[in-house]
Amino acid sequence: MRRVSTEFLIVSFLVVAAAAATVASGVNVTYDHRALVIDGKRRVLVSGSIHYPRSTPDMWPGLIQKSKEGGLDVIETYVFWNLHEPVKNQYEFEGRKDLVKFVKLVADAGLYVHLRIGPYVCAEWNYGGFPLWLHFIPGIVLRTDNEPYKAEMKRFTAKIVSMMKEENLYASQGGPIILSQIENEYGNIDKDYGPAAQTYIKWAASMATSLDTGVPWVMCQQKDAPDPIIDTCNGFYCDGYTPNSNNKPTMWTENWTGWFLSFGGAVPYRPVEDIAFSVARFYQRGGTFQNYYMYHGGTNFGRSTGGPFIATSYDYDAPLDEYGAPRQPKWGHLKELHKAIKLCEDAMVATDPTTTSLGNNLEASVYKTSSTCAAFLANVDTKNDATVTFNGNSYRLPAWSVSILPDCKNVAFNTAKINSMATIRRFVAKKNGNELIASEEISSDWSYVSEPIGISSNNAFKKPGLVEQINTTADQSDYLWYSISAESEGDESQTVLHVKSLGHVLHLFVNGQLAGSAIGNANNPTVSKDIPITLKPGINKLDLLSLTVGLKNYGAFFDTTGAGITGPVELEGLKNGSTIDLSSMRWTYQVGLKGEGLGLHTGGSSLWVSGVPKSQPLTWYKTSFDAPSGDDPIAIDLSGMGKGELWVNGESIGRYWPAYIAPNSGCSDCSYKGSYNSNKCLKGCGKPSQKLYHVPRSWLKSSGNVMVLFEEISGDPTKISFTTQVLQSLCSHVSESHPSSIESWSQEKSRRKRKQEPKVSLECPHPNQVISSIKFASFGTPQGQCGNFRHGECKSDNALSILQNACLGFKTCSVGVSTVTFGDPCVNVVKSLAVEASCE
């Protein structure tokens, strides 16, 4: 045992004590024109959004750790007012709502937090995050210079700030929170609020800074943000953004990594080459803080979706998928980008960039001081690759790409050249030998309760004329019954009921039978439909069930947007050719369903009857099941169902709607080159917008779990199956012209004369797995993508055996992409190595 001197122990104690004192007293967070300044040091920061209620507490540590491993410095989250204060002055902060726990977990991982209090958040969240009770406060007008609203906004904002202070979570107290946000994208719509918008923004800024958090506040999309508030950019690209003061840094609070999914729409995605291009361009042109919205999107559990028509999945094509797994190559390519940018940090914080033209659509930006130099070379042409000369050296720049040179000489990273491996993940029910089985019936033991059609509650009420739905239900339920009787004289007759509604969905029942439905969509939630009906002689009962699918969350005065059947409702084509307007007659109304009032979602009640009627509207179904074995993420495949909501052990998985099919057109091959928009890259045309629904494992027991569904339209619950997410393949496709791996790049190595060769690297993501097979390997001119690689005209004969020897039985492997390794199957041709492997 080595002896330790008394002097060494004393010095060590003093160092530890000083560090503890620093943490206790916190650090100073300020800013200047270049960057956020943390403890006296400018920082280049990479951030990512993770919304705590869109995952479960047991997922949080893994999501945060994978974010850190992906190269993030900061986790950004909104605070959801309606989640925490569903009833005025009644607060909820447990489970998925435990904001303090989430922030502390981020701190435990050594990351910072950007807390976006809002308290308007948009976020495709129901009512933009506002609690609906705000709507009923007399005289209130949201998001403007209105005293009732400002009083409530200040009260909630102060509540959240106070909670954070009590737990010492601001950086000024030694905590992780280095930024806070007030309001949200108000500048996009403030003109609609007139002069009051300006006084409101000034008040909001003053109110926020008066709360004395000790860290800067930001306003996104607010070019007139008052000092000292930092105005920030949101969008697919923000490299042209400049703040409203020369004393403020250039910050990007939302770089949209994909787009949200709507029921009835195809699935949007955004190529990682384009995301990397946008990020590199932002840092190239002087930005120092960039946030991915989303880094993990997650799931809209319960009735939390906004829109309307936002789907339950909020995957967002984010670097971490809905279930928390890295989406490759997106996660890995961005991780390498972050490392390349960090290699440039010293130069970037020391000075402003100097940008020069290298030709048409070509430019170089250089950060240079007497001791350091970093350069970004950009080709913003959407079609043509280019060769440029910079500092006497020649560089090949693919179209729509940026090369990063941390030493102004050697390329560490190019946004269009992906070294990171790709993965294919699939949802399967079980593995039988080597065969993946697509589905497996959950249970054969079902019971059901038929929901009464029309009025069944003692709380029903009558009123002349048609009522607006949100004012009537206060969003306590998606459902509102409109019921009326109509008398028909003589024989049975065919007629048409014309119905017009603000949305979002309606079902018409005539004498207890479903006669027709009308459905809006994300672009136009209103519905207008002529439904043919048959009237029997005498009294006919007409029951209209109106549904909301999430409340609007964006736009000027979005909170005043109504829903429900506001008319007209008319019987047309009667025998005498007349039309009867039912709109102003006396209707009977019922808020919600009988099953909701009875709490059927928990699986309790003595009303359940054994059996499983199929293709029947307005039916509650219940079964019990055992949890799928293992620890892989779980999704339930609801392909056999129509539309409704699902609960597991009383927890709402969310709304389901596999019957809403995406349009057949609009999906095609998508190039990363050129400006991205939310309709550019789509997949899943002609298929259900969402058929798989996340079931968190923490909500399950090993056995005896209870599942309840409420089906509105028609479904067959025996076709429901549980699936688990498994890794099907690892892939990589790297050319000789790729930069060497960022893992092996360093300032010292960059000075060597011999260029480091690029490598194909594979790694099984699960701790106990190894590479079990090489499905494909080709060195030469291979074609295709992961899952469908094929040989090109040029190929070596030894690629498969070399990959098998290097990789089989190992968790990780790397193989150099060069003729030294594989020989030269085609001289004077740039060659590449494509590999597909599997893990067990």
By annotation, the residues acting in catalysis are: 185, 254
Q: Is 587 helix (H, G, I), strand (E, B) or coil?
A: strand
315 in Cβ contact with 321 (< 8 Å): yes
Measure the CA–CA gap between 833 and 840, rounded to whole angstroms: 23
Say which residue the tokens 């190992």 belong to. 810
Instruction: Give the number of C-alpha atoms closer than 13 A to the C-alpha of residue 695, restricted to the C-beta side.
Output: 31
- Is the CA virtual torsion 816, 822, 827, 832 positive or negative? negative
Say which residue the tokens 């085609």 belong to. 826
Q: Is 33 helix (H, G, I), strand (E, B) or coil?
A: coil
Phi, psi of 719 (to 5 degrees): -90, -5
Q: Which one-letter DSSP state was computed for residue 456?
A: -
Tell me the two tokens of residue 720: 């429901």
Measure the CA–CA gap between 193 and 726, rounded to whole angstroms: 50
First to last CA, the chain: 44
478 in Cβ contact with 303 (< 8 Å): yes
Angle, alpha carbons 264-270-276 (nearest 5°) = 165
CA-based Rg of the chain, rounded to a whole angstrom?
Answer: 30
Tell me the two tokens of residue 698: 């923490």
- Is the CA virtual torsion 610, 616, 622, 625 positive or negative? positive
189 in Cβ contact with 195 (< 8 Å): no
- Is the CA virtual torsion 763, 769, 771, 775 positive or negative? negative
- Is the CA virtual torsion 682, 686, 689, 690 positive or negative? negative
Angle, alpha carbons 193-555-301 (nearest 5°) = 140
Question: 42 forms bridges with which residues in the sheet?
Answer: 37
250 in Cβ contact with 243 (< 8 Å): yes
80 in Cβ contact with 121 (< 8 Å): yes
Q: Which one-letter DSSP state was computed for residue 87?
A: B
Instruction: Give the number of C-alpha atoms closer than 13 A to the C-alpha of residue 826, restricted to the C-beta side.
Output: 15
Measure the CA–CA gap between 109 and 208, rounded to whole angstroms: 28
Sequence-distant contacts of 393-402: CB under 8 A, at least 24 apart: 396/737, 397/362, 399/673, 400/273, 400/274, 400/277, 400/672, 400/673, 400/674, 401/273, 401/277, 402/276, 402/277, 402/280, 402/281, 402/284, 402/376, 402/377, 402/378
Tell me the two tokens of residue 768: 């106990």
Phi, psi of 596 (to 5 degrees): -65, -45
Spatial CA neighbour of 105 closest among 58, 37, 159, 39: 58
User: Identity (one letter) of the amino acid at 262?
Assistant: S
723 in Cβ contact with 431 (< 8 Å): no
The region, left, alpha or beta by phi > 0 then psi within -120 to 50, assigned to residue 704 is left
Q: How many residues does the chain have?
A: 840
Helix or strand run (H / E) with residue 6: helix 6-25
Q: Which one-letter DSSP state was computed for residue 225?
A: P
Alpha helices in 251-299 (DSSP H): 272-284
Q: Which one-letter DSSP state was computed for residue 124?
A: T
Measure the CA–CA gap between 304 and 51, rounded to whole angstroms: 12
627 in Cβ contact with 698 (< 8 Å): no
Cite the beta strand spans of 522-668 per DSSP E. Answer: 527-535, 538-547, 569-572, 580-581, 586-591, 609-610, 619-625, 634-637, 644-648, 651-656
Largest Cα–Cα separation, the chain: 110
